[in-house]
Amino acid sequence: MRWNRRELAQLKQLWSEGQSAAQIAGHLECSRNAVCGRLTRLGLTRGHKPPTAKPKIRSVPKRGPTLMAARCDRVRKKLPQKALETRPQEMSKRQLYAILAEAVRNTVRAIGAAISRV
């Protein structure tokens, strides 16, 4: 974009009034990036912007072992004892690959059947 003297003067005035680059771009009917680029080339900055809010950092209270133990007891009461005692069966790599291959074959069959219906 080419800037003439009137637009540059208006840019400087609006910037000094505290308007944002987007507001200035709307006023001058150009893009925000054009305004930001010209401000950078002119060396116009507003300095450090003060924070709008001061967040308070609070520590999170630690849970004691009694609370954790109480929660574990509640979970155990809900689950049947048989479920707690059984462990999943260990499988070899070969068995896992066989299950995966079967799942892929079933998926391919299902997709083929869906395509043939269409």
User: What average pLDDT does the segment 108-117 reach?
Assistant: 85
- The parent domain of residue 17 ranges over 5-42
Q: Is residue 97 part of a domain?
A: no
Q: Is residue 16 part of a domain?
A: yes
d(CA 69, CA 75): 10
pLDDT at residue 60, as a whole number: 73
Q: Is residue 75 part of a domain?
A: no
Q: How wide is the angle at C-alpha 107 spanned by C-alphas 101 and 111, nearest 5°?
A: 145
Q: Is residue 15 part of a domain?
A: yes
**What are the distances in angstroms from CA 75 to CA 52, 65, 72, 79, 85?**
45, 16, 5, 7, 14
Q: Is residue 19 part of a domain?
A: yes
pTM for the model: 0.41
Q: Is residue 14 part of a domain?
A: yes
Q: What is the mean pLDDT of the chain?
A: 80
pLDDT 10s digits, 55-78: 677 777 776 555 555 555 555 556
- Is pLDDT of 23 > 70? yes
- Is pLDDT of 84 > 70? no
- Domains of the chain: total: 1
